[in-house]
Structure 1
């Protein structure tokens, strides 16, 4: 039986990643070491790990989490846009917009090139609605 599943983001700056995820993203620290930080928000978890730590296989050390996209689904994406972009000034990778596939969202850039997609589900267009299998809309 699966008891947990969460991303661990490799970074060259654990302190900077900790500050980003606990600051504007609102996560709380569950475990904190200079090489690994476990975080939780509203029952959801993620962690950051020093990309050169010996627990990473030699073949994968030194590689950051760049290219990773972390989705954060929220009740009010417009309020998060105001908080994260307008007031906090996080760098925007994709402006706030509606998508036919059932999302109103925006994307900000986090540490190590990780993209954070902040999403509120909206009704999809009929073309996309047909693709959902009943387990949720997005």
Structure 2
């Protein structure tokens, strides 16, 4: 598991290490996995799998990796202060200064589905002057989740 986590961070830097030698890699292969350090791993799992229909890529007692329904993106959750992790990855997220955007094909349908499940809508469905049609909810960690359908900008 430790190798897997290290590989993610190395690939984000655009460098790879083979036999102790560092070389620049093709940045077109870069993949981002946002990670949240939290005590609320089970609550996060329930929210993202049951509410937003994410799938489970990997799970153990201190780490959870989820993927979007079409497997185009991932998000991970890590227990704070876990002995297997370096101090840089110990402190838990404080609930402020982070948001996620999930792009969908039909924002009205997603809005109806979430309302029918009793999910609290933090920002009601709206159309912005620049063309986005969106609404927002909040995950168990306090992260705002903006659910958007991009449309053409109106003049």
> What is the TM-score normalised by the length of structure 2?
0.73
- Distance in structure 2 (CA, Å) of the matches to 1:60 and 1:40: 23
CA distance change for structure 1 residues 116 and 56 in 2, over 3 Å: closer, same or farther? farther
Look up the match of 1:61.
Answer: 91
| Structure 2 residue 104 is matched with structure 1 residue 77 | no
Q: Does 1:123 align with 2:148?
A: no
Cα distance, 1:52 vs structure 2: 2.8
**TM-score, length-normalised on structure 1?**
0.81
Q: Give the RMSD, CA atoms, in angstroms.
A: 1.8
> 1:107 matched to which residue of 2?
136
Match of 1:12 in 2: 39
Deviation at 1:56, TM superposition (A): 4.9
Please, which of 37, 46, 56 is the counterpart of residue 64 of structure 2? 37
Structure 2: gaps (5+ residues): 1-25
Which residue of the other structure, out of 121, 126, 133, is the alignment partner of 1:97? 126
Seen in structure 2, the aligned counterparts of structure 1 residues 77 and 32 have a Cα distance that, compared at 3 Å, is same
Q: Does 1:23 align with 2:23?
A: no
Unmatched runs of 5 consecutive residues or more in structure 1:
127-138
Whole-angstrom CA distance in 2 between matches of 1:32 and 1:76: 30
Paired residue total: 125
Cα distance in 1 for partners of 2:59, 2:89 equals 25
Q: 1:104 to 1:81 in 2, by over 3 A?
A: same
- Cα distance, 1:37 vs. partner? 0.6
Deviations 1:47-77 (A, max 9, x none): 1111332425268513345432110000000
